[in-house]
Amino acid sequence: MDLGLQNKTVLVAAASKGLGFGIAKALAQNGAKVSICSRSEDDINAAAKTLADDYGVETLATACDLTKKEDIDNWVQRTVDKWGTIDGLLVNAGGPPAAIFKEISEAQWQSAFELTLMSSIRMINATIPHMTNGGGILTITSSSVREPIPRLALSTVMRSGVVGLVKTLANELADDGIRVNNLIPGRIDTDRVAQLDQNTANKLGITPEEARKRSLAKIPLNRLGTIDDFGSAGAFLLSPAASYITGASLQVDGGS
């Protein structure tokens, strides 16, 4: 199936590894030009080189702190200066720390707000003026927006706000030909999930391996997802092949 991504320009945030890299990889496999960012200049340059070397596509790497508006604006402007218009945006950022409500300080709430919700708003605000031919915006949230996950209060609250933003923008941007969707990861084999397994193990007094086995028991497909599983779904929703899909939330969770 041709996704229609050949020579499309797509921004992918937090793409040096994990879910963001999985989507950037799938986009590159389908011929898209990818502009990727992360906090670490070394890591994002290495990721861009891997994509260019493996798939022969044009890439742009930018060091970017997604809690800072000026960094986001610089990333988007560098992309526009290099390629002109933008066809897609993957909104992504690292997750807030795990904690229960009564352990969370006001400063941590504010930090999570900047990292998760405000970064989404700023990325979209900076990008849509350059999506003159329409295109796709995709956010990554969490299965906690459907059912809260223990100790992930910060993530649940802020990511639920992102889902509200997606539904709002799907209506507001439809006349501009811009589709806005949300991708919900289940248990995908990333560093973040490994850390959550460690947190669970510490809390219950078990090994991380036992914590992972308990998680697998709740997944009908009986395995963790891979970043390639997740990336394929993301590339589809960002592509012209999904031209009649907007305001949707797709779960990539093995049936859990």
For strands 178-185 and 59-63, give the pairing: unpaired
Residue 136 DSSP SS3: strand
pLDDT score of 185: 95
Residuewise pLDDT in 10s, the chain (256 residues): 899 999 999 999 999 999 999 999 999 999 999 999 999 999 999 999 999 999 999 999 999 999 999 999 999 999 999 999 999 999 999 889 989 999 999 999 999 999 999 999 999 999 999 999 999 999 999 999 999 988 899 999 999 999 999 999 999 999 999 999 999 999 898 887 888 788 888 888 999 888 888 888 889 999 999 999 999 999 999 999 999 999 999 999 999 8
pLDDT recorded at residue 1: 87
Non-local (6+) Cβ contacts of 176 within 8 A are: 128, 131, 134
CA-CA distance, 113 to 30, in Å (whole number)? Answer: 34
- What pLDDT does residue 175 have? 97
Spatial separation of the C-alpha atoms in residues 235 and 131, rounded to whole Å:
17
pTM: 0.93
Q: How far apart are CA 169 and CA 187, in angstroms?
A: 27
Alpha-carbon distance of 37 to 24, in angstroms, equals 10
